[in-house]
Amino acid sequence: MKRGALLAASIAGLLASPTLAEVTVLGWPGGPEEVALRAAADTYNAKPDVADKDKVELLFFNREGFWDKLQADLAAGSKAFDLNLLATYSIGRYAPFMEPVVLSEEAKAVYGDSVLSTMQYEGKQYGVPTDLSLHFMYFRKDLIDALMKDDAAKAKYAEISEKYLGKKLEPKAPDEWTWDDYAATALYFTQAVNPDSPTRYGTVLQLKNLLFNIMIWQSVPRAYGANWMDDSGKITVNSDAYRKGLEIYKLLYDNGATPRDSLSYEFAEANAAFASGQVAAMLQWNAAAGDLTSKEKSPTVAEVTDTVAPPAGPEGRFTHIHGLGFGLNKNAENKEGAALFLKWLSSKEAALIYAKNNGAPALTPEVVAEVAEARPDLVKLGEFAGKYGYVMNGGTSAKALSVYELQAKEFTGYWSGQQSIDDALANTEKGMAELLK
């Protein structure tokens, strides 16, 4: 009843507006995404070549229960909106109720293939990627600089790496790190391992049984060649690559490189730990950059914090990416007008407007250069997405969120000591085979 009343009220509001727009867009309420979408819609509606029947009206549901409500409305054949929000990990869930879209001829040059893939399902484009999330390696540049200038510290670093990783390593600049370098650095800056460390913890891991934490972690096994399944559909998680990724986190947790209560950590807790000044490096969402480099919000670390892409493995350097975007409701009443807006929204003009108004589009170097001064954070976002971004094979399927939830349950069980790594991998393989069959 509540959902029906909310939708009825939203529709009534549209019908009561002075000019009834023909193209209704369901967006993500609150925050920078809404600000950017409103700016884009205002610009589009003001264009002299946009007919009144094709102007855009925005519609917003509540955040709570948004994705479940959207699925219910799409499945029920709702015509309350022509275009609706999409997320990479839920495209497969909504694809049966949506239609593939055609983007502008500029789209590839504006976003690049990796970013466009975040809105693809079974080889078809289902949306325009407007906001992107990926991961940065945050680090204390003052601590790293001091380490690399100190011969005694280098010797201690080599000793620690040999003891815990089985090989002597030398300190490197974070942009040159492998995952072993990251682990060695985290151990060196951990007082439980190195009493002389200037920080209590070398890193902070987000180990709560939460699907979004697995998105952060999975770039570790990905760098060793991991994927959810091969091209034939065979589940491939029970592999050396996944084992390596799990063991790195376990090594760091068991040796005190991350706080003991990290098993309850997610985004906010990890940020708080890093901002305290007692952590040397952390893998975290790009969304944390604004707070962790703000003198007002993180005065202890703001001026000494820098970011690079995640470390490399034998198969390369990778970062999980997923995006928010907009796609076409199969039951849209004005598909022609909706298609026109989507084409424009995927153009360079629209992307720059979106970027200048607090959105987070991942743009190619040539395009982001035009807003680099105002939005320096978008430079790395676009660069890392284009160079290192990936979506797991099956990562846009209808059961993608369920796969992440399964992995979170099983892998957290291993990290917390509740089950063996063999059981965690076997259980995950069996569960994924059922979910993705």
Q: What does the pLDDT look like over 166-206, one tens digit per residue?
A: 999 999 999 999 999 999 999 999 999 999 999 999 999 99
Which range in 58-67, 96-105, 357-366 is most confidently predicted, on average pLDDT?
Answer: 96-105
pLDDT at 287: 84
* pLDDT above 90: residue 27: yes
* pLDDT above 70: residue 350: yes
* pLDDT above 70: residue 9: no
Q: What is the mean pLDDT of the chain?
A: 93
* pLDDT above 60: residue 10: no
Lowest mean pLDDT among 112-116, 326-330, 375-379: 375-379
* pLDDT above 50: residue 14: no
What is the arithmetic mean of pLDDT over 146-151?
98
Per-residue HEC secondary structure of the chain comes to CHHHHHHHHHHHHHHHCCCCCCEEEEECCCHHHHHHHHHHHHHHHCCCCCCHHHCEEEEECCCCCHHHHHHHHHHCCCCCCCEEEEEHHHHHHHHHHEECCCCCCCHHHHHCHHHHHHHEECCEECCEEEEEECEEEEEEHHHHHHHHHCHHHHHHHHHHHHHHHCCCCCCCCHHHCEHHHHHHHHHHCCCCCCCCCCCCEEECCCCCCCHHHHHHHCHHHHCCCCCCECCCCCECCCCHHHHHHHHHHHHHHHCCCCCHHHHHCCHHHHHHHHHCCCEEEEEEEHHHHHHHCCCCCCCCCHHHEEEECCCEECCEECEECEEEEEEEECCCCCHHHHHHHHHHHCCHHHHHHHHHCCCCCCCCHHHHCCCCCCCHHHHHHHHHHHHHEECCCCCCCCCHHHHHHHHHHHHHHHHCCCCCHHHHHHHHHHHHHHHCC
What is the arithmetic mean of pLDDT over 377-398?
91
pLDDT band at 12 (very low <50, low <70, confident <90, very high): very low
* pLDDT above 60: residue 84: yes
pLDDT at 232: 94
What is the arithmetic mean of pLDDT over 263-290?
95
What is the arithmetic mean of pLDDT over 105-110?
97
pLDDT, tens only, 283-331: 999 988 888 988 999 999 999 999 999 999 999 999 999 999 999 999 9
pLDDT at 7: 47
Do residues 237 and 432 make contact, with C-beta atoms less than 8 angstroms apart? yes
pLDDT at 5: 45
pLDDT at 333: 94
* pLDDT above 80: residue 18: no
Residues 6+ apart with CB under 8 A from 308: 136, 137, 139, 174, 175, 177
Residues 6+ apart with CB under 8 A from 5: none
What is the arithmetic mean of pLDDT over 159-167?
98
* pLDDT above 80: residue 2: no
How does strand 319-320 pair with strand 389-390?
parallel
Other C-beta atoms lying within 10 Å of the C-beta of residue 151: 7
* pLDDT above 50: residue 273: yes
pLDDT at 20: 54
pLDDT at 403: 96
* pLDDT above 50: residue 3: no
Does this model's pTM top 0.75?
A: yes
pLDDT at 157: 98
What is the arithmetic mean of pLDDT over 91-99?
94
pLDDT, tens only, 392-425: 999 988 899 899 999 999 999 999 999 999 999 9
